[in-house]
Amino acid sequence: MKNDTLERLAEVLEERKSADPQSSYVAKLYGKGLDAILKKIGEEATETVMAAKDGEGERIVSEVADLWFHCLVMLAHEGLGPTAVLAELDRRFGLSGLEEKARRTEG
């Protein structure tokens, strides 16, 4: 497994903007528009919650993959991508890392 999976998938999602909706799930979803993409995110989020409530590990992973995937489609539709989200998480992690360091210094 590579750690650039999100970025590579985002490249495919970008290519699908000019693909045939008859042969591509993503192109078909783009064609339906933002509301349809958001509806899928809502459905996948609900399915993720149900899988977690049932405590079924394999199903949780599968539903989270569906959820992340449809979030990536939404980001691409909005002209964004995973790099910006990962940078934001990195920034927050950096901040919490600094707070942790300050706590250790104070203590």
Ligand X SMILES: N=c1c2ncn([C@@H]3O[C@H](COP(=O)(O)OP(=O)(O)OP(=O)(O)O)[C@@H](O)[C@H]3O)c2ncn1[C@@H]1O[C@H](COP(=O)(O)O)[C@@H](O)[C@H]1O
User: Would you tell me which residues interact with ligand X (CB under 6 A)?
Assistant: 9, 12, 16, 24-27, 40, 43, 66, 69
To ligand X, the closest distance from the beta carbon of 32 in angstroms equals: 9
Nearer to ligand X (CB atom), residue 40 or residue 77: 40
User: Which of residues 80 and 95 has its CB atom nearest to ligand X in the complex?
Assistant: 80
Nearer of residues 12 and 95 to ligand X, judged by Cβ: 12
- CB of 87: closest distance to ligand X in angstroms? 22
Rounded to a whole number of angstroms, the minimum distance from the CB of residue 30 to ligand X is: 9
- Dump the DSSP string for the chain: --TTHHHHHHHHHHHGGGS-TTT-HHHHHHHH-HHHHHHHHHHHHHHHHHHHHHT-HHHHHHHHHHHHHHHHHHHHHTT--HHHHHHHHHHHHHHHHHHHHHHHHH-
